[in-house]
Chains A and B, each alone.
Chain A
Amino acid sequence: MALAAVTVLGVAGCTRPAQYEGRDGIFDPYESGNRKTHEFNRDVDRALLRPLAKGYVAVVPDGIVISVGKFAENLGEPSNAVNHLLQGNVRGVGRNVTRFLINSTLGFAGLFDPASDFGLYPDKTDFGETLHVWGASEGAYVELPVFGPSTERDAAGRVVDMFTNPLSYVLPTQEAAAANSAKVAAKLGDRGRYSDLVDSVLYESADSYAQGRILYLQNRRHDLGMDTEDTYIAPEDVNTQGF
């Protein structure tokens, strides 16, 4: 685990711009390759994910789609706790553990989220964030096959997160398989429930690759607390003459 982390830190640090380069804080030296992956992802979505997801949310009642999502989310809490621990975020660990205990019991094995009713809202994290806390730079933007928009740092984090969930070491094979199915179903549920939003980015924007890239980077930097007040756009920044 520690060895993996060190390796990953080395990988995450391999493409390191002094500052964000290019327009709007985007560092995308692999753009041509990324665009090919994007076309592949769009084909997969169009042919497989989108129709499956639409069918899934059309057939399965909304309450069950949400419960499956919650179930998968609950199974991720131990991984969140481990990463919060690695980040030295004690409050985060406390929240993840408490949520896991409440939702696994009162929430019928995580199908419901009573913890949120008590004001204990989800606090997700991952090894990509841990790398950020440890000081690794974001690296270049990358679009991963199937998983979609990412950065070098987050892609490395994804690899390590295959090993950060304690549940994966204790669950018997059958239960582990069920957990993985739930995760896939949760992804389909998200794709189905936010169908219009995802469609608008993938199929209605002038350049879906560029839109996906800027949406991901902004949202991710926000989640990691990288968008400070200095990054806000001020009302004096452009000349409005003629508009």
Chain B
Amino acid sequence: MSRFTRRTFMATSAAALMALALPLPAFALNDAEARGLVDNLVSEINDVIASGKSETAMYGDFERIFRKYADLPYIAAYAMGVDARRASDSQKKAFTNAFTGYISRKYGKRFREFIGGRLEVQGVKQVKSFYQVTTTAFLRGEAPFEVDFHVSDRSGKNLFFNMYIEGINMLLTEREEVGSMLDRRKGDIDAMIADLAKAG
């Protein structure tokens, strides 16, 4: 048992699969795919930043990018936290929708500050069941800083489910904010969703 670790088990199974020349399952996310996803994501973000469009037009673009690359149901579910247990399915759907617009505006604003700068993909590594793609933001007059994307195929598609900017992660930060919004409305989920649609 001591020598037959999870790692050796995985390695052995992988070797067995190779020996049988079985096609690799389509959902097996790998380094190259995780990196490719973030390469495309970063290039689309850079295009929007460089487009010189109006602020509102940019938010529309960022929302489209979020819907294409982000695991929105996961991010929304995490942000709602334990309060999701008492939410109805229609409330959950409405929340995911309002939340998507909210993070597109909020994070779109931050990306807009990258005007004149750029994001560069540095590397990728597997962490537990997902991939961490590290990028560096180069901004004028600033020491370069890390922006990481955590990518998973949990949903059946390769999508990012969390983002770290200098250690600050979107999931934890937004769960705190949604919690505060609920507190402000004394726990009224519908009122919180209405606030969210206007926030960011």
Contacts and interface: CB of A to CB of B under 8 A. Distances in A.
B177 A233 contact: no
Interface residues on A, range: 35 or more
A150 B154 CA distance: 37
Nearest to B185: A206
Nearest to B162: A233
Contacts of A89: none
B180 interface: yes
Interface stretch (A41-49, A138-146, A208-216): A208-216
Contacts of A203: none
Given A211-B180, A222-B167, A242 B109 contact: no
A4 to B, nearest CB: 29
B172 A206 contact: no
A39 interface: no
B157 to A, nearest CB: 12
Nearest to B167: A222
A211 B106 contact: no
Interface in B55-94: 71-74, 76-78, 80, 84, 87, 89, 92-93
Contacts of A180: none
A227 to B, nearest CB: 6
A117 interface: no
A196 interface: yes
Nearest to A229: B127
Nearest to B161: A235
A240 B176 contact: no
A86 B174 CA distance: 37
Contacts of A196: 109, 113
Interface in B117-132: 127-130, 132
B111 to A, nearest CB: 12
Contact of A237 (B73, B78, B143, B179): B78
Q: Which of A121, A122, A215, A243 has the most CB of B within 10 A?
A: A243
Contacts of B181: 206
Interface string B166-180: 111101110111011
Contacts of B150: 232-233, 235
Secondary structure type dominating chain A contacts: helix
A234 interface: yes
Q: Which of B113, B169, B184 has the most CB of A within 10 A?
A: B169
B142 to A, nearest CB: 9
Contact of A222 (B109, B152, B166, B179): B166
Nearest to B112: A196
A213 to B, nearest CB: 8
B187 to A, nearest CB: 13
Contacts of A200: 106, 109
A233 to B, nearest CB: 5
Interface string B31-70: 0000000000000000000000000000000000000000
Interface in A182-222: 193-194, 196-197, 200, 204-207, 210-211, 214-215, 218-222
Nearest to B130: A235
A66 B141 contact: yes
B128 A234 contact: yes
In order of increasing CB-CB distance, the 3 nearest A-B pairs are A222-B167, A207-B180, A235-B152
19 contacts: A69-B141, A193-B141, A196-B113, A205-B180, A206-B183, A210-B176, A210-B177, A218-B173, A221-B167, A227-B167, A229-B128, A233-B172, A234-B129, A235-B129, A235-B130, A239-B84, A242-B84, A242-B93, A243-B80
Given A196-B113, A197-B110, A233-B172, 5 more contacts: A194-B113, A235-B152, A238-B84, A242-B87, A243-B96
Interface of A: 24, 62, 66, 69-70, 116, 121-122, 193-194, 196-197, 200, 204-207, 210-211, 214-215, 218-223, 227, 229, 232-240, 242-243
